[in-house]
């Protein structure tokens, strides 16, 4: 009896039992994937480049040695703050994408039921999938530690900030990864899981605190609950608020009154929430695996009952109508696909919650009489634009890869359709799926232009901006979808490409211009930054509200409405041409690497 108990507890306490063979298998597969090594190389190269430019900027500053020391401390704080925030945001997005198909791949390939027939249990499946993906992200955090240690020599950065930032980042990616894994149990498509995870994060970390603050204000409870208490209670589980105040304490020696925040408590809350989500996921994975092992269909809608089943095979009604294809076949198929698939109820609930939240926010702004302020409309437009761009990056990269994953891509290429018809059909289907996302931006601009708060010219300029964003990202997403087999890879590369041309390249150009002291390079960097779509939105809204002066303040120049519209059209033409080049290359790759 004692020997059996020792063996039982020894097995439970053994860490290899916690990981299981799924973890070992995922590590072996990950070690053979070239994209993981490319991701690490690009990650460390970018951080090293930014570190080099910051350091050279400090060294070339003229002054006394004491001034050098003070400048190096400031540079160290700026570098470490950038590295910490970069890995905090980047690893979260990568975690969502990498775990978006962790369980759905096993379900779709019909291997989850087979796994349950082995000694592997559902807990080992869930933990193996989660930890194997998170290990790749932990490696990204580990390879940045030498950079953080070297930069800390500059001074001004305590070890407490680095340790707390890494712990917050690790706790956040575990929570977000667990949430993405949970949604992958119900959704086959990676982009649906990514969208559901993003919506859940917005609700948890933004909607709930905002609604709570509004309720306290409306019920006049603010006398009993002050702002510091509210932030300490309702924003304590929020890792983004924790990182913000943690950075404020680093950059400002006397930040003033800051509410009580504990990063240890935040990590504990996120860890507890992750345990709850993983426990529920383990139970659901077991149920789904048993259903699949017994032969039940998953990820497929139930077949409708045949109304002619009462007749025999020879007595079937001869006049059964078959739907005819009137339009081009791909367009016909894309336009008749359910916009929300099998998740109609969930989508309806999400739409209702989003609309209710927007109405509530607009009501609060009207109550405070700030709906005619320029800054308020800039925030609304920027939020809607970021929301639409993020969904566009995700949805445009799934048109080809979903066909490959469903094994229908070779069949589509065997038909009489040419590559151009397939490309236009996918474009029409993408536009249809993006309508609910971008309609929020257009509704805001149009409604407030009818209320004479926003200049109607902004409607035209924002429309031009949205059209070329969707077109350009569709072309790049289609190209990357034709290059890769899996949706996850295509979405990651499409996002990295958009971040590179709109964030990292302008940043490197500015740093290079300051380093080489070349005026032409700095001017080119300013002009290049003026092509950024988010800068377009800020400039357009800053010049087209009742409280604005009407001047378009671009970074490289100042212009009136006519010249600014011409510049917006020039950016439209440039990005559209570049997108067509990507579309042409994607069309050339349709019949290469089919399987």
By three-state DSSP, how is residue 587 classified? helix
Position 302 confidence tier, pLDDT thresholds 50, 70, 90 = very low
pLDDT tens per residue across span 402-418: 888 778 888 888 888 88
Element (H, E) at 558: strand 558-559
d(CA 449, CA 429): 30
Q: Where do runs of H (alpha helix) occur along 235-306? A: 239-251, 263-293
Residue holding tokens 């708060």? 453
Of 256, 234, 75, nearest to 245 by C-alpha is 256
Please provide residue 552's backbone torsions phi and psi, each rounded to the nearest 5 degrees: -95, 105
Q: Do 26 and 133 meet the contact criterion of CB atoms below 8 Å apart?
A: yes
Q: Encode burial over 165-187: b for 16+ CB neighbours within 10 A, e otherwise.
A: bbebbbbbbbbbbbbbbbbbbbb
Q: Where are the beta strands (DSSP E) in 266-399?
A: none
d(CA 563, CA 560): 6
DSSP string, 9-43: HHHHH-HHHHHHHHHHHHHHHHTT-HHHHHHHHHH
By three-state DSSP, how is residue 559 classified? strand
- Averaged pLDDT for residues 55-82: 66
d(CA 244, CA 255): 12
Of 508, 483, 410, nearest to 34 by C-alpha is 483
d(CA 203, CA 181): 18
Where do the domains of the chain lie?
A: 17-293, 328-588
Whole-model pTM?
A: 0.76
Q: Is the pLDDT of residue 579 over 90?
A: yes
d(CA 31, CA 113): 26
Q: Is the pLDDT of residue 126 over 80?
A: yes
Q: Where are the beta strands (DSSP E) in 75-228?
A: none
Average pLDDT, the chain: 79
Percentage of residues of the chain with pLDDT beyond 90: 13
pLDDT tens per residue across span 217-240: 666 655 556 666 666 677 788 888
Q: Is the pLDDT of residue 8 over 90?
A: no
393 vs 158, more confident: 393
d(CA 327, CA 17): 56
Q: Do 473 and 586 meet the contact criterion of CB atoms below 8 Å apart?
A: no
């Amino acid at each position: 009896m004692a020997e059996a108990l020792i063996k039982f507890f020894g097995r439970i306490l053994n860490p290899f039992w916690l990981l299981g063979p799924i973890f070992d298998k995922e590590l072996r597969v990950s070690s053979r994937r070239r994209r993981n090594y490319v991701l690490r190389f690009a990650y460390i190269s970018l951080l090293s480049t930014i570190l080099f430019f910051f350091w050279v900027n400090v060294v070339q500053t003229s002054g006394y040695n004491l001034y050098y020391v003070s400048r190096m401390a400031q540079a160290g704080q700026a570098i470490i703050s950038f590295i910490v925030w970069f890995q905090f945001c980047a690893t979260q997005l990568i975690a969502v994408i990498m775990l978006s198909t962790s369980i759905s791949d096993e379900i779709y390939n019909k291997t989850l039921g087979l796994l349950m027939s082995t000694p592997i249990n559902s807990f080992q499946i869930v933990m193996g999938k989660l930890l194997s993906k998170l290990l790749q992200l932990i490696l990204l955090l580990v390879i940045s530690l030498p950079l953080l240690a070297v930069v800390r020599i500059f001074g001004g950065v305590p070890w407490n900030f680095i340790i707390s930032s890494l712990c917050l980042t690790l706790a956040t990616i575990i929570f977000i990864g667990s949430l993405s894994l949970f949604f992958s149990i119900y959704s086959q498509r990676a982009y649906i899981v990514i969208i559901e995870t993003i919506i859940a994060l917005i609700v948890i970390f933004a909607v709930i605190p905002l609604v709570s603050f509004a309720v306290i204000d409306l019920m006049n409870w603010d006398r009993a609950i002050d702002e510091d208490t509210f932030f300490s209670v309702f924003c304590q589980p929020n890792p983004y608020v924790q990182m913000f105040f943690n950075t404020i304490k680093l950059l400002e020696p006397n930040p003033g009154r800051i509410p009580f925040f504990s990063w240890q408590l935040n990590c504990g809350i996120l860890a507890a929430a992750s345990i709850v989500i993983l426990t529920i996921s383990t139970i659901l994975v077991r149920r789904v695996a048993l259903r699949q092992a017994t032969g039940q269909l998953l990820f497929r809608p139930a077949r409708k009952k045949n109304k002619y089943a009462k007749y025999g095979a020879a007595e079937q009604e001869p006049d059964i109508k078959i739907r005819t294809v009137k339009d081009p076949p791909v367009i016909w198929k894309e336009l008749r696909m359910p916009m929300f698939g099998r998740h109609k109820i969930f989508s309806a609930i999400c739409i209702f919650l989003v609309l209710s939240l927007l109405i509530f926010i607009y009501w609060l702004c009207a109550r405070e009489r700030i709906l005619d302020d320029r800054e308020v409309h800039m925030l609304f437009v920027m939020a809607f634009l970021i929301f639409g761009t993020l969904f566009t990056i995700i949805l445009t990269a799934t048109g080809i890869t979903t066909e490959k994953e469903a094994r229908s891509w070779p069949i589509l290429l065997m038909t009489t359709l040419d590559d151009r018809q397939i490309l236009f059909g996918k474009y029409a289907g993408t536009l249809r799926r993006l309508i609910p996302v971008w309609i929020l931006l257009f509704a805001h601009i149009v409604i407030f232009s009818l209320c004479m708060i926003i200049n109607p010219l902004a409607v035209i300029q924002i429309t031009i901006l949205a059209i070329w964003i969707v077109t350009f990202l569709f072309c790049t997403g289609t190209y990357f979808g034709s290059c890769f087999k899996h949706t996850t890879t295509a979405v990651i590369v499409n996002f990295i490409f958009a971040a590179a041309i709109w964030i990292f390249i302008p940043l490197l150009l500015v740093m290079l211009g300051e380093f080489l002291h070349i005026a032409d390079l700095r001017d080119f960097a300013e002009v290049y930054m003026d092509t950024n779509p988010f800068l377009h939105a800020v400039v357009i809204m800053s010049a087209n509200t009742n409280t604005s002066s009407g001047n378009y303040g671009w970074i490289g120049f100042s212009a009136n409405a006519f010249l600014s519209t011409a510049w917006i059209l020039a950016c439209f033409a440039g990005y559209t041409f570049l997108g067509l080049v990507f579309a042409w290359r994607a069309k050339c790759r349709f019949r290469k690497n089919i399987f």
